[in-house]
Structure 1
Amino acid sequence: MKNIFKIFLLGILVVFIISCQEDDDKVMLNNTSVSTLSVNKTTVVLDETTADQAALVFEFRNPTFSPSVQFTNAVEFAVAGTNFSPNTTREVSMGQNTFSLSHLQLNNILADLNVVPNTLKSIEIRLKSNVNPVTPFYSNVLKVSMTGYTPNPDLIFPKINVPGGYAGAAGYADWTPANAPNLFSPDKNSQYRGFIYVTAPNSEYKFTINQDWAGDKGDDGTLTGKLVETGEQNIKAATAGTYYVKVDWTANTYSSVLANFGVIGDATPAGWGADTDLVYNPSTKTYVINSIVLTAGGVFKFRANDDWAMKIQPAAADQTLASGTAVQTFFNAEGTVQGDSSYKVSETGNYRIELDLHNSAYYKLTVTKL
């Protein structure tokens, strides 16, 4: 019995010693000085004509810790009064104590925060230092009044290039990635889509990124929609016309379908019985009907290949267009159209119709009364 008691006491002593050692191993992290952040302006009006120029210049001082630990920095933005929820962040290099953000970068930040363009908004900014994913330390909070602009979708959405022997006749340059039609990613991921116009059958093309030949991709030789970077073959457009092309850059897949558009509806001369075809204009890189009679009280929409599978329409309800004013229009194959909406005509007359399909993030329609 005495032996059992001794063993019990020894066990308690061992646990006590180990516990004390673990407590000794624990180190308290002290934030000995907080980070600071300053900016050169408190009001800024963003301008797309100087998109790449610095709009704000920041200076910061890192926090210090005892003992010294590694950490990362990011600058955090939020609409004033929201307690930084929601917010958007941008990484900050650890090798410097100043950084700048361009007009375009700040405009994208406002877009992330759902700030309406051309509206003055107070934005709060702070430096966030992460010692680990669950231990952030913050600087002082700055307030900057910002006015954003309606961005050019060509500048804010990722894109890949479609160089080929067809491009010169479409208003670009043959086999030149920096001057070729683009496929855009409206969701800002690896999936790209858009239209190319081909004037001759069996025209060849490939896919590139960053407007350069490095990393270009083509068909793997099976003609089954698979892309490869090494040993690739040029892709061929079997017939002349407009093609709707989709590429998953990460999954290395692509698809291409003929999509020649015309306008149809009871507002058009042929009614619902026939299409009036759009003609590609290489100088403007748009699809046009230079003159067509449209009748008041009627409607029209655009469809491809004289069929109803692919249509260009308003997003939802029927829409009456203002003469000469460009509006965003939508492609039903991309899941952006509700119902079977059409465009309305409010006044009978001759009209010019221009459909701009060069950017899948913002298809644009302009109807002008002549």
Structure 2
Amino acid sequence: MNKKLFIYLTFIGLIGLLFSCEKDETKAVLSANPIAPTIVSMPDLTLKRANGLNILEFVGTAIEPGFQASVTYYLEACAKGTNFQDAILILSDKQALSFKITVADLDGILLKKFPADLVSSIDFRIRAVLSLSSGTGSYVYSSATKTADVKTYGPPALSLTVAGKLQTITSPGDNKLYSGWIYTDGTPFQFTNNDDGKKYGGVLVAGEVSCALTENGPAIALEAGAYNFTADINTGKMKLTVADVTIGIIGDAVGGWGDDTKMVFNFTDRTWNITKTVTAGGIKFRTHNSWAAVNVGYNPAGADLNNLYQNDGKTDSKDIKDIAPGKYNIKLYLETTPMKVVFTPTN
């Protein structure tokens, strides 16, 4: 009986050993040189609103780690040459053979990092993350980078070129209602619809703040300055409304508190500029003909040209009173933090 029991137990042990060996033989072993995924082809990346529902396809190949593994693939993009330090995720999937996305969806993703209506050089890659069931962690392998010129599109826009600069007003709701800020040097202009090429113009009577818009209408004439525009090009309702938001300099040191003198906007450094003779007295900066929006001067906490203050509705800005009499090129920075102004004496 004991002999039979011994033989039986020995037999069970041999079977266990056999299965253990088989398990060891099929154990997942990561290849010393896994073959990374690749990007085989990319679609035309000149994105257009009219093609918003079209499907774009990025074709790739899978990683070959040397065994069957759980893999997640990430299609990523970054500005050319930045080595994916600030990568943006386009798609993720359990396979890398085909990443599909609509034109509109890709455009929306890329607009988070890249400017609208311009061509950007963008690097793309497929990044594979292998998860091992053995609990030894994850391994990451990336494809070689592929670079493409990508043109995104922003909201529907009416554009014009004036003051040497292409400028736009946009329709975020895509409902033919456009709005935006424009600076003009006084050159008459028409609006051009970026989607269909149609042109719009009208006659804005001096002193009026609105006029009818017509397709192929006359060029719109405005005094030099900055304006907030709203334009409605819905059939039967076409209308343009403008509000003068030019920045002016005012004060008894520059001609009096009764009226301001318009300044000139510089697109390069985004400053407001004027050459002006300064006498004894105070200076402030404001929206043309109004204190309601911009009302900038010294900070109540201290007189510092590099730390100007905007009236917050509770505490007023202070007059700038310590500029020595003379003629100056005056440069006002309203888009910096803090705001500042530079007075440079002229010869």
TM-score when normalising by structure 2:
0.41
In our comparison, the structure showing a higher alpha carbon Rg is: 2
Structure number with greater CO (CA < 8 Å, separation at least 6) is: 1
